[in-house]
Amino acid sequence: MCDKTFKALRVTEDETGKFVRNIVERKLTDLPDGDVLIRVHFAALNYKDALSFTGNKRVTRNYPHTPGIDGAGIVEESSQPNFKVGDKVLVTSYDLGMNTDGAFAEYIRVPAEWVIPLPAGLNLKESMIVGTAGLTAGIGLYKMKMMGQIPELGPIVVSGASGGVGSMAVGIFKKAGYQVIASTGKDSIAPYLLRIGASEVVDREFVNDDSSRPLMKPKWAGAFDTVGGNTLATLLKGCKPGGCVASCGLVGSPILSTTVFPFIINGVNLLGLDSTNFPMNERQQVWDKLAGMWRPDLKSIATICKLHELDPYIDQILKGELKGRIVVELET
Ligand SMILES: NC(=O)c1ccc[n+]([C@@H]2O[C@H](COP(=O)([O-])OP(=O)(O)OC[C@H]3O[C@@H](n4cnc5c(N)ncnc54)[C@H](OP(=O)(O)O)[C@@H]3O)[C@@H](O)[C@H]2O)c1
């Protein structure tokens, strides 16, 4: 078993400082130490993976490296009693694919604390359509509900709606009974967004207020933001009193320039989402909801490809051009 080789999509920094991607053969002994060896059947692409693929040192410090923060598969070895050979499991986030060899490979080896038994109601492929994107959207809904954001209060805006996290948020909020306004920069994407759960599609300029007003006439009851920057500032300004704005992303900008007025006049709640370190007991609750009551139309959101077909999608996600979730089926 130790000498067994497997395929992995590896990134190497060449002598000119360029980051080059190649599918290579690796040995199981090349993998880091860990409690659980998993034969990866499906992995999924996230924005963070694209940053790791292109040499972003805030995501991945050392190269050569195998990205992939989302993987699902079958346990082949386990030193811990809570996981047995043959168990179907998934791993998302923690350090997987960042500074630990990731899931764009036929095998990963990880600490048992990172592993989740496959939730009833999802198969391995479906769990990766959900992946970190769905977990993040689910954490947003979970936190908003805790703060009293009920569907009866009115519509939720989802920004970056056609992307991976955005698509999952549109689908999940709709399934949980909310009216969803999908904000997008893509001209021809409305039919897709309406199909996955939006009741209205707006251009991203709708949530890009460039006035100096500290507050706008309230237009939405809450928001789920993947964009950051002025989009997040606008979502705060235009939120109805008492509503929640959940922030998870920075594809537009990491800078937030706002005033305190949305908070101290309207009592708006700004909720931060961090899927990487979200506690395991709550993580499992959110996964169970994602597999059940909140499960969106996963088929419409997914594009399935093989490892050697992933390359163009990495470039597209960096340009904000992707639609939905890209799931990689590893050869079996
Ligand atoms: N906090 C967490 O735990 C967590 C977890 C997962 C992801 N994230 C973050 O969430 C964000 C989205 O991730 P993702 O995997 O969904 O990426 P993605 O698939 O590329 O989706 C991002 C979407 O944002 C929109 N967009 C892109 N560039 C934009 C710009 N300059 N201004 C406004 N909108 C823009 C596009 O949608 P439209 O064309 O429809 O507008 C794009 O499809 C990233 O910043 C990622 O790092 C955070």
In this structure, the answer to whether residues 305 and 254 fall within a common structural domain is no
**Boundary of a domain, candidates 272, 288, 317:** 272
| Residue 29 within any structural domain of the chain | yes
Q: Above 80 in pLDDT, residue 332?
A: no
Q: pLDDT (tens digit, 9 = 90+) per residue, 159-181?
A: 999 999 999 999 999 999 999 99
CA of 104 to the centre of ligand 1 (A): 20
pTM of the model: 0.96
In this structure, the answer to whether residues 165 and 188 fall within a common structural domain is yes
* Amino acid making up residue 139: I
In this structure, the answer to whether residues 174 and 249 fall within a common structural domain is yes
CA of 218 to the centre of ligand 1 (A): 24
The reply to whether ligand 1 has any atom less than 6 angstroms from the CB of 134 is no
pLDDT score, position 219 = 93
In this structure, the answer to whether residues 238 and 114 fall within a common structural domain is no
The reply to whether ligand 1 has any atom less than 6 angstroms from the CB of 275 is yes
Specify whether the CB–CB gap between 6 and 297 falls below 8 A: no
Residue-range definition of the domain harbouring residue 169:
131-272
| Residue 173 within any structural domain of the chain | yes
The reply to whether ligand 1 has any atom less than 6 angstroms from the CB of 46 is yes
pLDDT score, position 3 = 79
In this structure, the answer to whether residues 72 and 41 fall within a common structural domain is yes
Specify whether the CB–CB gap between 170 and 145 falls below 8 A: no
pLDDT score, position 101 = 98
CA of 85 to the centre of ligand 1 (A): 36
CATH number where 77 lies: 3.90.180.10
In this structure, the answer to whether residues 167 and 255 fall within a common structural domain is yes
| Residue 94 within any structural domain of the chain | yes
pLDDT score, position 94 = 92
CA of 255 to the centre of ligand 1 (A): 15
In this structure, is the dihedral angle defined by the CA atoms of residues 311, 316, 317 and 319, taken in order, positive or negative?
positive
Count the domains in the chain: 2
pLDDT score, position 97 = 97
Tell me the average pLDDT of the chain.
96
Point out which residues pair with 162 in neighbouring strands.
none
In this structure, the answer to whether residues 257 and 137 fall within a common structural domain is yes
Q: Compute the distance between CA of residue 108 and CA of residue 105 in angstroms, rounded to an integer.
A: 7
Mutation probe of ligand 1 site: the residue of 165, 170, 206, 315 with most atoms within 8 A of C-beta: 165
In this structure, the answer to whether residues 61 and 82 fall within a common structural domain is yes
Ligand 1, closest atom to CA 48?
A: 47
- Give the residue from 181, 173, 183, 182 showing the smallest Cα distance to 151: 173
CA of 187 to the centre of ligand 1 (A): 17
Q: Above 80 in pLDDT, residue 2?
A: no
3-state class of 250 per DSSP?
coil
pLDDT score, position 201 = 98
Count of residues making up the chain: 332
Q: Compute the distance between CA of residue 144 and CA of residue 167 in angstroms, rounded to an integer.
A: 18
In this structure, the answer to whether residues 206 and 315 fall within a common structural domain is no
Specify whether the CB–CB gap between 169 and 248 falls below 8 A: no
CA of 160 to the centre of ligand 1 (A): 6
**Boundary of a domain, candidates 256, 272, 288:** 272
Q: Compute the distance between CA of residue 268 and CA of residue 271 in angstroms, rounded to an integer.
A: 10
pLDDT score, position 1 = 58
What the block records as the tokens of 151 is 């569907």
In this structure, the answer to whether residues 109 and 179 fall within a common structural domain is no
In this structure, is the dihedral angle defined by the CA atoms of residues 332, 33, 125 and 11, taken in order, positive or negative?
negative
| Residue 71 within any structural domain of the chain | yes
| Residue 176 within any structural domain of the chain | yes
**Minimum mean pLDDT range among 10-19, 65-74, 192-201, 232-241:** 10-19
The reply to whether ligand 1 has any atom less than 6 angstroms from the CB of 45 is no
Mean pLDDT score, 276-295: 95
CA of 132 to the centre of ligand 1 (A): 12
Residue 21 host element (H or E): strand 19-27
CATH number where 254 lies: 3.40.50.720
pLDDT score, position 214 = 95
| Residue 146 within any structural domain of the chain | yes
Q: Above 70 in pLDDT, residue 220?
A: yes
The reply to whether ligand 1 has any atom less than 6 angstroms from the CB of 324 is no
Q: pLDDT (tens digit, 9 = 90+) per residue, 113-140?
A: 999 999 999 999 999 999 999 999 999 9
The reply to whether ligand 1 has any atom less than 6 angstroms from the CB of 249 is yes
Q: In what order do the strands lie in the sheet with 200-203?
A: 200-203, 180-184, 156-158, 222-225, 244-247, 269-272
Mean pLDDT score, 42-53: 97
In this structure, the answer to whether residues 189 and 106 fall within a common structural domain is no
